A and B are shown apart, each in its own frame.
Chain A
Amino acid sequence: MDRSIPQEALVRIGVKKVRQYDVTRQDIKRFAQAIGEANPVHFDEDYAAGTRYGTIVGPPLFCQMFTFEDVPPERLPRDGSPSEIDVPIPAQRTVGGASSYEIFQRVRAGDQITATSVLKDVFSKDGASGKLYFIIVETEFSNQRGEPVAKETATYIKRL
């Protein structure tokens, strides 16, 4: 038992949040623009028809669009950080993190993506300049046929 983690944080471990999103061609185009990806398979239907996908698809990490719950601003922490990592621990500053993505298939326009996220763990470690707090969030993305699309395990690191 990690005694530096308040009970109010520990009770959130394992709680699932589910949300759904309808994917449009415009979503894919905008995501591609935001990441600086110029491959026409993400926005040109004629070009995409001649690729192995046969249609416009999202870039590999397209499900990043659905990582964060779209709660209204007043329900976010004061620093605007995602509600997924708003767990009551004695740390405020975000100091890095990690992602591990598995990609099972590309997202297509017209897909309905279900994102299921769960707080997997909260723990602390002693760092060189104080205690570091780790928040592990796992999110599974599936489509309207119930097929897995992607899975992310994200590690957020916070300190005082």
Chain B
Amino acid sequence: MKIHGVHWEDICVNTAIPELRVCPDPMQVFMFSAVTWNRHRIHYSKDAALCEGLPDVVVQRALIGDFLARMLTDWVGDSAELHRLAWKVIRSAVPGRDIVCRGRIQDKTVRGGKKHLVCELTVSNENGETIACGEAEVVFHADHALG
């Protein structure tokens, strides 16, 4: 098996993870509601969203987590697994607008023979406003350096 992905030795604390820019459209928001069986109207009815004081149908909190997970898995490739992901949504994201996920290495440690990274995460909109913030932990596979 060829291992693609970041190498432990190349990682420095306080450096940035390659960002992920996405633009979820109404179809993606709809598909995500369908596949997760989330029938909350604020994700597909603009009228319902406006009634709740929202600007439009809103991107699901869970989907924002998937964008963060994708940024991390795109970066680590086969070298490591996402072990923990926590995120908090502080502003609504609406379809048709760019979302940028960013991350920074906060900690790099070896514990119990396993190589761990802790990453600080942010998600912002095209105006630079923070939509969500969070933290992730990735654990490297023992054979990650063989590729």
Complex alpha-carbon distance, A30 and B52, angstroms: 30
Q: How distant is A43 from chain B, measured CB to nearest CB, in Å?
A: 14
Chain B positions 40-91 with a Cβ under 8 Å from a chain A Cβ: 40-42, 48, 52-53, 61-63, 65-67, 69-70, 73, 78, 81-90
**Binding site of B, secondary structure by majority: helix, strand, loop or mixed?**
mixed
B66 x A59 contact (CB < 8 A): yes
In this complex, the interface size class of chain B, counting residues with CB under 8 Å from chain A, is: 35 or more
B42 x A79 contact (CB < 8 A): yes
Q: Of B6-14, B30-38, B114-122, which binds chain A? A: B30-38
Contact partners of B85 in chain A: CB under 8 A: 60-61, 99-101, 103
- Interface size of A by Cβ–Cβ distance < 8 Å? 38
A94 x B1 contact (CB < 8 A): no
A123 at the interface (CB under 8 A from B): no
Give which listed residue, B22, B53, B69, contacts A61 with CB less than 8 A: B69
Q: C-beta contact mask, A68-81 vs B, less than 8 Å → 1, else 0?
A: 10100100100111
Chain A positions 22-80 with a Cβ under 8 Å from a chain B Cβ: 30-31, 33-37, 39, 50-52, 59-61, 64-65, 67-68, 70, 73, 76, 79-80
Complex alpha-carbon distance, A100 and B42, angstroms: 22
Q: How distant is B138 from chain A, measured CB to nearest CB, in Å?
A: 10
Give which listed residue, A30, A50, A82, contacts B35 with CB less than 8 A: A30
A98 x B36 contact (CB < 8 A): no
B28 at the interface (CB under 8 A from A): yes
B81 x A103 contact (CB < 8 A): yes
B73 x A64 contact (CB < 8 A): no
**The 10 A-B residue pairs with the shortest CB-CB distance in the complex, in nearest-first order:** A98-B88, A100-B86, A35-B66, A34-B31, A80-B39, A34-B35, A80-B41, A81-B40, A60-B82, A34-B32
Query: CB within 8 Å of A: which residues of B?
Result: 1-3, 22, 24, 28, 31-32, 34-42, 48, 52-53, 61-63, 65-67, 69-70, 73, 78, 81-90, 141
CB pairs A–B below 8 angstroms (30 shown): A31-B35, A33-B31, A34-B36, A35-B66, A36-B22, A36-B70, A52-B141, A60-B85, A61-B62, A64-B66, A65-B35, A65-B37, A67-B36, A68-B37, A73-B39, A79-B41, A79-B48, A80-B41, A81-B39, A81-B41, A82-B40, A92-B52, A94-B40, A94-B42, A99-B62, A100-B84, A100-B86, A101-B84, A103-B84, A155-B88
